Structure 1
Amino acid sequence: MYSSEYKVRIRYADTDQMGFVYYGNYPIFYEIGRVEAMRSLGFSYKKLEDNGIMMPVLESRSKYILPAKYDELITIKTTITSLPKVKIHFNYEIFNETNKLIHIGETTLAFIRKDSMRPCRVPSEIIDLLNPFYNA
């Protein structure tokens, strides 16, 4: 299983009137987690798109446990639970500054060819980078 962590400081613009992260902003943290997980693996979303493949979100789930607060440094832990085929599944755990779990999320994305808008298999380069984490 592949996991990575990335820290983000909560901006004032992320919060609601109570000083808590607005619930609709958590998918933005998921995207940050996904992009940085791929980057830490050695692959970028930009490279994927430059090669004619997009990854639209098909499904997203959230569970709010405790609020994230303005100016807090949160940690987004992103896990790719299994080797992808045509779809890829990400799990997210978000921790506050005291390392308390405050949020859980999941997304499922598909690999889609830009030119035809049809599903395609995950690029072999991504499989090659992920294989060591699943075939150890």
Structure 2
Amino acid sequence: MIEHVSYFRVMYPDTDKMGTVHHSNYARYYETARWELFRAIGIPYQMIETAGYMMPVISMNMRFLKTTRYDEQLTVRTCLKGIRGPRVSFSYKLYNTNSELINEADTELAFVKSDTFKPCAVPPFVTNAIQKHLLHSSTHASN
């Protein structure tokens, strides 16, 4: 649906006693990449919260393929896969400096109202931004 590329450098505190990135940091990398995708289509997360919504993660699945170490340059390809009711699905592919796939993940988030924490439809300003981006992307692709 919508793709975005983000870049990270592995920081020393991200590593564990084995000298590799601790598994808990992958969730943080993917969260940052997901919000950069939203920011790229005109929706900074602060806008979502200011409008009275939150987006908790309701599922996360990761596949660890290779390890990575301090100071590696990482590339995350994030894809907004779809929206179904209040749910928004993302997939991620994480590559190391040598362009080797080191991790894959899928997450699902849900829109909830901040005051009730009850699931709700995706706000129109979000769906409008997604549709506008898709229209803009398809217009540029056909030129």
Name the SS for the 2:82 alignment partner. Answer: coil
* Equivalent position amino acid for 1:68 in 2: T
- Give the Cα separation in 2 of the matches to 1:83 and 1:130: 10
- Once the two structures are TM-superposed, the CA of residue 84 in structure 1 deviates from its matched residue by 4.8
Q: Relative to structure 1, is the Cα distance of residues 68 and 84 closer, same or farther in structure 2, using a 3 angstrom cutoff?
A: farther
What corresponds to 1:100 in structure 2? 100
Give CA-to-partner distance per residue, 1:37-79, whole Å, 9 cap, x none: 1011111111100111000010011000011211001011110
Give CA-to-partner distance per residue, 1:72-123, whole Å, 9 cap, x none: 0101111011245311001010011111111001110000001111111111
Aligned-residue CA RMSD in angstroms? 1.6
| Structure 1 residues not aligned, in runs of 5+ | none
What corresponds to 2:41 in structure 1? 41
Task: Give the alignment's TM-score, normalised by structure 1.
Answer: 0.94
| Structure 2 residues not aligned, in runs of 5+ | 139-143
- Once the two structures are TM-superposed, the CA of residue 34 in structure 1 deviates from its matched residue by 0.8
1:30-109, aligned counterparts within 5 Å?
A: 30-109=30-109
- Give the Cα separation in 1 of the matches to 2:60 and 2:82: 17
For structure 1, which segment, 51-60 or 84-93, has the greater mean C-alpha deviation from structure 2 after superposition?
A: 84-93
Runs ≥4 residues deviating over 6 A: none
1:96-135, aligned counterparts within 5 Å?
A: 96-131=96-131, 132-133=133-134
For structure 1, which segment, 109-118 or 121-130, has the greater mean C-alpha deviation from structure 2 after superposition?
A: 121-130
- Give the Cα separation in 2 of the matches to 1:95 and 1:84: 28
Quick check: 1:83–1:127 contact (8 Å CA) kept in 2?
no
Task: Give the alignment's TM-score, normalised by structure 2.
Answer: 0.89
Determine what percentage of the aligned residue pairs are the same residue: 32
